[in-house]
């Protein structure tokens, strides 16, 4: 007897392929649903695109692989286009944040608005009792938890997904030991995705020459690179949007005693600030103000741990809940916390949600060089 109908997001990659296999083995009635969220010709994606001369675009290659997988597994595959919606809800946000000099994470917003909203609505049209994806995460008793393989855990990218959105969601890869096991399962079934390279780059867009890619959408305004300690002009940047706090490579400045790191931006004067040494004082802060808060649970801890980057280690934090709905997060000197980044909360193995860094502070004062 079937455990119910589950619609799986089939991307044409190995993770979603194995998610479908595991669900079928567990006794679910599995249906595949492929999302096409980017079209290079419609979206003016020419500069920085390595696939322009290909006979077939990567999205169609992925669809063909998804179709091959579903045929092998004898499950139906449906297809839906969210090209306009992806542009409106994810890519526009990405560009707007870059214009503000911030460091956005489009994968997080893609999960919030596309995979766990529009995708779910489409899955329900197909009669879904559950939806599933190839994320490395777990749901236990309605709670979002880290995956068994912490190195691949993707709960950071699910931090803006609401409690309501997580209802009836399955993450079949949550107990997988490592990526090798995933590929072994795909190989056992003879799937074309078994040895397929993992996708990288911007969510649903793929690998791009980032500098050239952005020229399709944002004006490239050069300006001075300034030593924040001496106020000396050291060189010229190619556009503030191309740099993030803590960055060392790509500055193309020599002749300094120590390595230079990006420590700040002045949008009004179009200045990129740098400082010498990886432990310079400008890279460190002790609190951050968060906006766009999302909790996927009923808990509101005063103390927990948090991540400010995907692969960053957990750090202890204290949360102050402000009357306007924002949260002030206090911590012990952390390096390169940056406006626009996600701060994600954890209690042991549970991911509670998080917020977006609005401003960064030191000794209760906003750092002027961090926007």
Q: Which residues are catalytic?
A: 110, 203
3-state SS, residue 17: helix
Q: From CA 371, how far away is CA 366, in angstroms rounded?
A: 9
Residue in the structure block whose two tokens are 């808060």: 293
3-state SS, residue 57: coil
Residues 6+ apart with CB under 8 A from 161: 111, 112, 116, 144, 294, 296
Burial status of residue 207 (CB atoms within 10 A of its CB: 0-12, 13-18, 19 or more): middle
Q: CA nearest 353: which of 107, 105, 135, 143?
A: 143
Q: CA nearest 151: which of 313, 22, 16?
A: 313
Q: From CA 222, how far away is CA 333, in angstroms rounded?
A: 32
Q: In this structure, what are the phi and psi dihedrals at residue 87, rounded to the nearest 5 degrees?
A: -60, -45
Residue 266 pairs in a beta bridge with 271
3-state SS, residue 5: strand
Q: From CA 81, how far away is CA 115, in angstroms rounded?
A: 12
> Both tokens of residue 89?
């809800």
Angle at 175 between CA 351 and CA 135, to 5 degrees: 60
């Amino acid at each position: 007897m079937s455990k119910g109908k589950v619609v799986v997001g089939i991307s044409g990659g190995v993770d979603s392929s194995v998610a479908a296999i595991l669900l079928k083995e567990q006794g679910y009635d599995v249906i595949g649903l492929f999302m096409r969220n980017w079209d290079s010709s419609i979206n003016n994606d020419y500069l920085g695109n390595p696939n322009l001369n290909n006979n077939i675009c990567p999205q169609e290659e992925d669809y063909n692989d998804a179709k091959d997988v579903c045929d092998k597994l004898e499950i139906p595959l449906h297809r839906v286009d969210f090209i306009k919606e992806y542009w409106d809800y994810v890519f526009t946000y990405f560009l707007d944040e870059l214009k503000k000099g911030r460091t956005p994470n489009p994968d997080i917003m893609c999960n919030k608005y596309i995979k766990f909203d529009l995708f779910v609505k489409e899955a329900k049209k197909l009669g879904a009792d559950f939806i599933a994806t190839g994320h490395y995460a777990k749901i236990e008793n309605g709670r979002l938890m880290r995956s068994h393989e912490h190195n691949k855990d993707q709960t950071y990218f699910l931090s803006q997904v609401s409690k309501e959105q997580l209802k009836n969601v399955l993450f079949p890869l949550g107990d997988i030991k490592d990526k090798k096991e995933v590929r072994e399962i795909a190989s056992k079934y003879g799937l074309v995705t078994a040895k397929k390279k993992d996708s990288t780059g911007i969510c649903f867009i793929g690998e791009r020459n980032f500098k050239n890619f952005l020229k399709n959408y944002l004006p490239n305004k050069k300006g001075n690179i300034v030593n924040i300690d001496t106020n000396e002009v050291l060189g010229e940047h190619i556009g503030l949007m191309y740099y993030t706090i803590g960055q060392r490579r790509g500055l193309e400045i020599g002749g300094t005693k120590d390595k230079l790191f990006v420590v700040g931006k002045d949008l009004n004067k179009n200045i990129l600030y740098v400082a010498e040494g990886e432990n310079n004082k400008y890279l460190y802060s002790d609190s951050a103000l968060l906006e766009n808060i999302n909790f996927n649970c009923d808990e509101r801890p005063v103390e927990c741990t948090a991540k400010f980057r995907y692969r960053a280690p957990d750090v202890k934090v204290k949360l102050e809940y402000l009357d306007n709905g924002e949260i002030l997060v206090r911590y012990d000197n952390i390096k390169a916390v940056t406006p626009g980044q996600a701060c994600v909360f954890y209690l042991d193995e549970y991911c509670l949600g998080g917020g977006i860094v609005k401003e960064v502070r030191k000794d209760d004062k906003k750092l002027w060089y961090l926007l």
